[in-house]
A and B are shown apart, each in its own frame.
Chain A
Amino acid sequence: MEASPKALRGLTWLTAALFAVALYMVLFYAPREMVMGDVQRVFYFHVAAGWVGALAFLVTAVTGGIYLARKDRRWDNVATASVEIGVVFTLINIVSGSIWARPIWNTWWTWDPRLVTATIMELIYVAYLMLRQGIEDPDRRARFGSVYGILGFLSVPLTFLSIRIFRTIHPVVVGSGDPTAEGAFDMTPRMLQAFMFSLLTFSFLYATLLWHRVRLGRLSEKVEQLKMKVLSA
């Protein structure tokens, strides 16, 4: 793999700096929530991780569509890279939510529409990665991945809307939610700033990780090609 381009190195350092500032804002700048206490601070990164998951799966669907139109495997590489990042951040979202829920809802898990739809979404994309492993032919694998990525994306708006259309105890951050939701709170200006900054930071983190992961995918393809060449010689 050739050395990282200057822009990628710059982006990596910028993301690291943003992450450090976001961490400071979340832990020290934002005030402690009056009812839930310190655990509410998990909220900033919990939502930001969920946002990255949704964004990553959207990118997978879009790049999958581009692959189907152009048959250029570079787009499939981007789609796979994005799924991998989406799976990691959705898992962070689910686990951090569970930790937040324990003292607030008095349980690690409940069969709430949001928790269930988010977990189904995660499993759909874990299956995407597993099923790809089972397909040898790279073109068939890319075609399958693209169609799956587009269809799988249906789970993302369903997860987003679940707390807005079903009766739920999960609080709604954007817009109004079920009045019976537990753990809802009004954000002070400082909380809102920390929240928006976390979303921005995680967006940068996604872009940085995607770039690195795409380069890794390209390197993997190069190794595969060379392997075929050596074996056929």
Chain B
Amino acid sequence: MLQQAPADTFTYMVLGFAVILGAIALFLVSLAVRARNLKRDLVLLAELEKSEKA
């Protein structure tokens, strides 16, 4: 029986992993950016609160 070679689907594999890893990386970046912004807000609000008390 003749054995066929596997289909050449390397490009699709690369595309698949680019999407998977890219989406996870984007989510991680989004978490980091949101945390940084919230920390900034927290500092700013704490300063505002302090200045209002003074």
Contact = CB atoms under 8 A, between A and B. Distances in A.
Interface of A: 1, 27, 32-42, 45-46, 49, 85, 88, 91-92, 95-96, 99-100, 102-104, 205, 209, 212-213, 216, 219-220, 222-223, 226-227, 229-230, 233
Interface in B6-46: 6-10, 12-13, 15-17, 19-20, 23-24, 27, 31, 34-35, 38-39, 41-42, 45-46
Q: Label chain B's interface by main secondary structure.
A: helix
A88 B30 CA distance: 12
A46 B46 CA distance: 44
The 10 A-B pairs at the shortest CB distance, nearest first, are namely A39-B9, A42-B16, A37-B6, A38-B13, A37-B9, A39-B12, A226-B45, A37-B7, A99-B16, A103-B9
B20 A219 contact: no
B12 A100 contact: yes
Interface of B: 4, 6-10, 12-13, 15-17, 19-20, 23-24, 27, 31, 34-35, 38-39, 41-42, 45-46, 48-49, 52
Contacts, number: 104
Nearest to B53: A233
B10 to A, nearest CB: 5
Contact of A92 (B19, B35, B38): B19
